[in-house]
Chains A and B, each alone.
Chain A
Amino acid sequence: MLLAENLFIERQGKLVLDDVSLSLSAGEVVGVLGANGAGKSTLLAMLAGELAPQRGRVSVDGTPLDRLDNAHLARQRAVLPQSPSLSFNLGVCEVVAMGAYPFPELSTFDVEQLMIRALALADVSHLAGRRYPQLSGGEAQRVQFARVLVQVLAARQSRGGRFLLLDEPTASLDPKHQQALLACARQLARDERIGVLVILHDVNLAAAWCDRLALLAQGKLVGCGDPASVLTPATLAAVYGVEAEVIPHPRDSNRPLVLFN
């Protein structure tokens, strides 16, 4: 289990995260929602072990992250940051295969098998022969997704839990691929017992695919739980500062449907 306890961080006099606690267990998909600047990416960076909290702690299976070195951490969790900035002339396969870098013990054959599976899961098999700089924004994002899939799938051998942290992975995807990416993430959570944390802006997309939602407003956690109980007009007003109506989804009455006024 990836566990954040009472995280607190202040930057230039502004509270970025204030007493935030969150857990991520194997097999579940947790969505993080919040307005711009609410602290979502900071929270993700802390869970990734990239940024240390000023107070509080993050641990993986009971071990504090600051006691694990980077190479070890990379064998347990994969991170997809926002807006990839790769501009060099690399092939799609070369980019995707980098997901296996933390696992030098894997043979070329193993890496290729992982890569073929990840390319198919991210629906980019047809791009395998292309050069990365020639891809469209959405294609590039899916290729980067395939890269972190290789990493998290390769982590099977590690003893502890495996985690996938995604920062707005659907930002430049069309509706079909938004659904497909989250479906893939949930399938992996179920089949491979991976814990998935995903930052999203589309509330209904989050409600459809996440087991739990964490709502951040100005660095504070204003709600955490299953979508139906967390998404209320009151929490949505606190998070986004807009009026919203929440009705049962016409196709699936257990799931809330949010309508912004």
Chain B
Amino acid sequence: MSSVTSPLSSPLPAASKTSRWRTPAGVLGLLSALLIALMLLSASSGALHIPLTELPGLLFSASGPDETLWRSVLIDVRLPRVLFAALAGAALALSGAAMQALFRNPLAEPGLIGISAGGALGAVGAIVLGGGSFLVLAPSAFVGSLVATVAAYHLGRRYPGMAGLLLAGVAINAICGALVGLFTYLADDNQLRSLTFWNMGSLAGASWPLLAGLAPWTLVVGALIARDWRAMNALLLGEREALHLGFPLKAVRRRLILLTALLVGPLVAATGAIGFVGLVVPHLVRLALGADHRWLLPTSVVAGAIALTLADWLARIAVIPAELPIGIVTSLVGGPFFLWLLAQRRH
């Protein structure tokens, strides 16, 4: 080892075996282009078809009567919806990637530490006790997810490592589930209906005012999470190794848990339960690109946006003029796809 073996002509062959599109930057670029194409496609389809070629012009002005109608549908209905889908997908995938690094487990997701269950409890409580207008429901769901997460963190931190957090999360999920069941039992028919729909997830609440609040929030919190990519990589090595590399483990852990709750909480409040994106998207990206968070995080963000934009598009065109709850679509399409992927890996 003291003697230098062959001099390294190309020390960094990262992904050079395959074509240049398989480099992380290439994949990220391709996916970004795909996302934009999908968003345009999604914006053009629905009960009222808006020709794709007209879309760019319609963003700025409308001339004839057809165009005026198209423009108002596009600006008032479709655009906020499409942007909201992309934003929610991006945030869900990013939070999933962060949780998987934190737990050092590719099967982790934000729901593990009570974010979704707490949000559901808050929402269902608001529906049954508070009438269920969006103005009551959303804050209640957000507070529910935050309280559940903070409780899981505090109750679990006495145990070494992540085991305590995981156990506390399991218990809190069970308690929230039971209380949701209790509220369901108490609910009348109308409440039952809105409660069921909340549990299936929906992007129907999309609007410009909602986006104006959520988009900057999501960008800022998301950027704060992404800043910790080095710590996440070090965590993959092991908790002791991360400590030896100078990362204050407890502080990193507390920060990532809190930021994840702050990222996903408001989304869960606004959309209800949308499963599978946070779990599967980072997993897929890891299969394609490897686990280096420098690329895993931004690529998961774009891939998550693609996943939910696609799911929203399917949900809206599958049974025109009605629409499917998006949580059903993500699980119905994502589940079999994931199984197919697992079957491929066997060989």
Taking a contact as CB atoms closer than 8 A, the residue among B1, B240, B248 that contacts A180 in the complex is B1
How far is A102 from B243 in the complex, measured between Cα atoms in Å?
Answer: 11
Evaluate contact between B8 and A125: CB separation under 8 angstroms.
yes
How far is A120 from B3 in the complex, measured between Cα atoms in Å?
Answer: 8
Evaluate contact between A129 and B6: CB separation under 8 angstroms.
no
Evaluate contact between B11 and A89: CB separation under 8 angstroms.
no
Evaluate contact between A70 and B1: CB separation under 8 angstroms.
no
Evaluate contact between B1 and A112: CB separation under 8 angstroms.
no
Evaluate contact between A81 and B16: CB separation under 8 angstroms.
no
Asked if B234 CB lies within 8 Å of chain A CBs, one says yes
B248 contacts across to A, CB distance below 8 A: 69-71
20 contacting pairs across A/B (C-beta < 8 A)? A50-B240, A50-B244, A70-B246, A74-B246, A78-B244, A79-B240, A79-B241, A86-B238, A89-B286, A89-B287, A89-B291, A90-B236, A90-B292, A91-B14, A91-B292, A94-B233, A95-B237, A125-B8, A126-B5, A129-B17
How far does the Cβ of A22 sit from chain B's closest Cβ, in whole Å? 19
How far is A72 from B233 in the complex, measured between Cα atoms in Å?
Answer: 19
How far is A187 from B14 in the complex, measured between Cα atoms in Å?
Answer: 30
Chain A residues 158-212 with CB under 8 Å of chain B are 177, 180-181, 183-184, 187
Evaluate contact between A81 and B244: CB separation under 8 angstroms.
yes
How far does the Cβ of B30 sit from chain A's closest Cβ, in whole Å? 20
Q: What bracket does the count of chain A residues touching chain B fall in? A: 35 or more
If A88-B286, A120-B5 touch, whether A98 touches B246 (CB-CB below 8 Å) is: no
- Most chain B Cβ neighbours within 10 Å, of A48, A128, A151: A128
- Chain A contact residues, CB within 8 Å of chain B: 48, 50, 69-75, 78-79, 81, 84-86, 88-91, 93-95, 98-99, 101-102, 112, 115-116, 119-123, 125-126, 128-129, 131, 151, 177, 180-181, 183-184, 187
Evaluate contact between A84 and B241: CB separation under 8 angstroms.
yes
How far is A236 from B246 in the complex, measured between Cα atoms in Å?
Answer: 37
Evaluate contact between A98 and B244: CB separation under 8 angstroms.
no
Asked if B247 CB lies within 8 Å of chain A CBs, one says yes
Evaluate contact between A121 and B12: CB separation under 8 angstroms.
no
Residue of A whose beta carbon sits closest to that of B14:
A91
Contact with A along B217-244 (1 / 0, CB 8 A): 0000000000000100110111011011
How far does the Cβ of A92 sit from chain B's closest Cβ, in whole Å? 10
Residue of B whose beta carbon sits closest to that of A131:
B290
Asked if B4 CB lies within 8 Å of chain A CBs, one says yes
B213 contacts across to A, CB distance below 8 A: none
Asked if B106 CB lies within 8 Å of chain A CBs, one says yes
How far is A99 from B233 in the complex, measured between Cα atoms in Å?
Answer: 11
Taking a contact as CB atoms closer than 8 A, the residue among A84, A89, A94, A102 that contacts B246 in the complex is A102
Contact with A along B285-311 (1 / 0, CB 8 A): 011001110000000000000000000
How far is A115 from B14 in the complex, measured between Cα atoms in Å?
Answer: 13
Asked if B2 CB lies within 8 Å of chain A CBs, one says yes
Evaluate contact between A98 and B2: CB separation under 8 angstroms.
no
How far does the Cβ of A167 sit from chain B's closest Cβ, in whole Å? 10
Residue of B whose beta carbon sits closest to that of A79:
B244
How far is A85 from B247 in the complex, measured between Cα atoms in Å?
Answer: 18
Residue of B whose beta carbon sits closest to that of A103:
B246
